[in-house]
A and B are shown apart, each in its own frame.
Chain A
């Protein structure tokens, strides 16, 4: 059973701080990794994809991948109250399917 693990939170950070969200996965063969943001009552929205070891930056978001240690993380700089949401980590699984983690709830306090 391929697994993706996330701390459910809530992770509480003050406005303007860096939020760090972590995810570990069990399948060493996984090649693609994704972060989705999901607001309460809404559907998941893709915010970052990462394929290679290292960092990938997009605006205030940075995804970090370490395949040797089997973890992927998402950093959100200058966190805003509008970033308060559940963040889902997803890992490719047998080609065209994804395995999703349970999500981490982030709360950014003004």
Chain B
């Protein structure tokens, strides 16, 4: 079974703090994704990475950066946390299309971040 883990289930930070959210997958997947999920807005893609040191902006990258130094690990960084970044953050991974029939994405348990 694919296992995606995230560093924290709940996190409380103060405005202006630098925040690191970490995601690790154990299935040797090439693709990794960071989403945020808010009531009424659904899942929104922040960044994704298709290889080590590679990253692509998603729909809402402003205020975020990412790092992928190892294949299994994808970090989301909030450079200066703001209250409007209070949200559920979800990491996902998938096999690269072509190596798999479907580009199924598997999610980690999520991190509920509150910025005060």
Contacts and interface: CB of A to CB of B under 8 A. Distances in A.
B8 interface: no
Contacts of B108: 43
A92 interface: yes
B112 to A, nearest CB: 8
Nearest to A98: B105
Contact of A103 (B42, B45, B48, B102): B42
Of the candidates A43, A88, A103, the one having the most CB atoms from chain B within 10 angstroms of its own CB is: A43
Chain B interface: which size bin?
Answer: 20 to 34
Contacts of B101: 51
Nearest to B106: A46
Interface of A: 32, 34, 36, 41-46, 49, 51, 88, 90, 92, 95-98, 100-103
A50 B67 CA distance: 32
Interface string B48-72: 1010000000000000000000000
B46 to A, nearest CB: 12
A42 B88 CA distance: 10
